[in-house]
Amino acid sequence: MIAVARGAGVVLDPAQLLRVQRTADFLAEQVRKQEPLYGVSTGFGSNADRLLGAHRLRGDQGAQTSLHEELQENLITTHAVCIGEPFAEDVVRAMLVIRINTLMKGHSGVRASTLEAYAAMLNAGIVPVVPKLGSVGASGDLAPLSHLAIVLLGQGEAFFRGERLPGGEALKRAGLEPIRLSYKEGLALNNGTAQMLATAVLCAERLEKLVDLADRCAAMTIEAFAGRRRAFDAHVHALRPHPGQVASAAKLQALLEDSTLADIAYHLVPKALPWRPSSWPNAELAALRFDIGWDWVPADQRHGRERFYERFKPFRGGKKHQPQDSYSLRCVPQVHGAVRDALAQLQRVIDVELNAVTDNPLVFPDLVGARFVEDQVVSAGHFHGMPIALAMSYVKAAIPVLASISERRLNKLLDPATNDGLPAFLIGNEDGTESGLMIVQYTAAAIVNDLASRAHPATVYSVPTSANAEDHVSMGANEGRHVLDMSADLGKVLALELMTAAQALDFRRDMIEAARRLAREADLATFAAKVGKAPPDPHPQRPQFLAECEALRAELAAAAAFRPGSGVAALHADFRRQVAFLGTDRALDGDVAAAVRFVEDWLAA
């Protein structure tokens, strides 16, 4: 279906078309017998008790159509009343192929020739103009589906080769002819869940990629924090095996595999200090935009933690001496995984709905044991959109959750109180004139708030229609439209996290690499000058301090270059081809736009 939404054509199975025609012929025979059938020989909705007569009450008046044909055509022309901006081409094409697939099941009563006309319109590239507002999602998506069908009648409007045209003109330019509707065909064409389902399918495809990208963004943020990965171990998640949670944990482990930044020893990670002209011993290091440092932990402050200092050297740098990261890092599998599970529920419903018959009444021409026509033409409620609407409500609540935890990670990277020794707002700011990425968080916060404000489920507020004949509706069309739009804004938040995480990762790696280089190239006195809270010379603890500084220097000097996991490194490299490191303040509008384009390209790939 996605391929057709993006431009592929369709081919109708000839054998199935025979079944379609069999049902249409059965309906025609029942009309000949003057059987009272809803939507065929009666009116619709609150007019269901109005039987069509053999003659017009006001005479023929030159009418070229029968009352049965007029009923079906009027249904389409009077129901095409949506307003607002038109849906994008991929949504409308998805609606068309969903409707064709539903009608091909052979339980709707349309003629094979009508389905062939629909397929021809789709394959010709005619895209009906379907305004976004007008469906309550319960007698099907009546109004938007009428905008699809009205073009078949040579009316309405359509896009053809980039031009917005009257429907009849679009058909003419494509070499197609308008059609006349027969028994129940208008009702079959506009009674179903195709709009809400189309938006759900396209949203599900987008969200599947966005959840994957969210895992990748989180992994890069974890690397920028030199964070801890044990919370993602498979044996841990086996104790609470929600499928999405297990999948996200495994994804993080794969992305962080072979990292030497994650789980790095506390004492090897320096903290950022403001750059000064005297910060570095040579011009090459002095070109850095930061200084680095540690604080020494005197022996008399290690009581009760002797075991800890047997393993870690007594220096406090950028990485906090604690066994766990904050929730926005440690609980990524639980949060991202819950979103995955919400999406899986939507996909389960989509799989059923894509292969369902969703109009009314349903026709069973070959039903064994049928005694009355009512057994074979059954009025039911498959047009009611609540199954898919509620699944989308679930996802609708999940979208701001995923955006929110992303924004919290972004904020944590920028805040010097929480970013584990990175520069404030991820900029050198030696002269106090730079804001760095400060306001990027404002934009993310604004989007998160907007998403949260839009997350109220449309499904909980039914507004009855059709003189209360349709007294409970799903509002699934609104839900689908909201969710599709919200997923686009979720991508913007992830783009901002990615932009921030890439900057933070560069700083973290550059800071540790600067420490390694200083350890290899500088003498002990120069290296020890980077350590605060040192005992003065002379002082009884001075020899111990220098010995422990030498041990830290030796370990750093002997260490290989620190690097993120290969999955994170690949994402970082791809992103850096679009957005450069922020060395000093510059106009960021272009960077933000490039980050958003990066995510859009990711979704399109």
Residues designated as active site: 38
* Contact in structure between 109 and 185 (CB atoms under 8 Å): yes
Bridge partner residues of 158 (DSSP): 128, 165
> Rounded to an integer, what distance in angstroms lies between the CA atom of residue 355 and that of residue 378?
19
Question: What is the CA 570 to chain-centroid distance, rounded?
Answer: 22
Q: Could you give the CA distance from residue 42 to residue 39 in angstroms, rounded to a whole number?
A: 5
Closest CA to 272 of 296, 297, 291: 291
Gap between the Cα atoms of 466 and 47, Å rounded? 9
Exposure letters 83-102 (e unless 16+ CB within 10 A, then b): eeebbeebbbbbbbbbbbbb
Does residue 442 sit in helix, strand or coil?
Answer: helix
Q: What is the crossing angle of helices 194-224 and 476-521, to 10°?
A: 20
Residues 6+ apart with CB under 8 A from 495: 592, 595, 596, 598, 599
User: Shortest CA distance to 103 belongs to which of 117, 90, 86?
Assistant: 117
The answer to whether 168 and 92 are in contact (CB under 8 A) is no
Helix (H) or strand (E) holding 318: none
Give me 356's structure tokens: 């369902």
- Residue-by-residue DSSP string for 337-363: HHHHHHHHHHHHHHHHHHTS--SSSEE
SS3 291: strand
* Token pair for 45: 């909705």
Cβ(539)–Cβ(236) below 8 Å: no
**What does DSSP assign to residue 228?**
-
Q: State the first-to-last Cα distance of the chain, in angstroms, to the nearest integer.
A: 17
To the nearest 10°, report the CA torsion of 239, 240, 242, 243.
Answer: -20
CA dist 116 and 152 (Å) reads 11
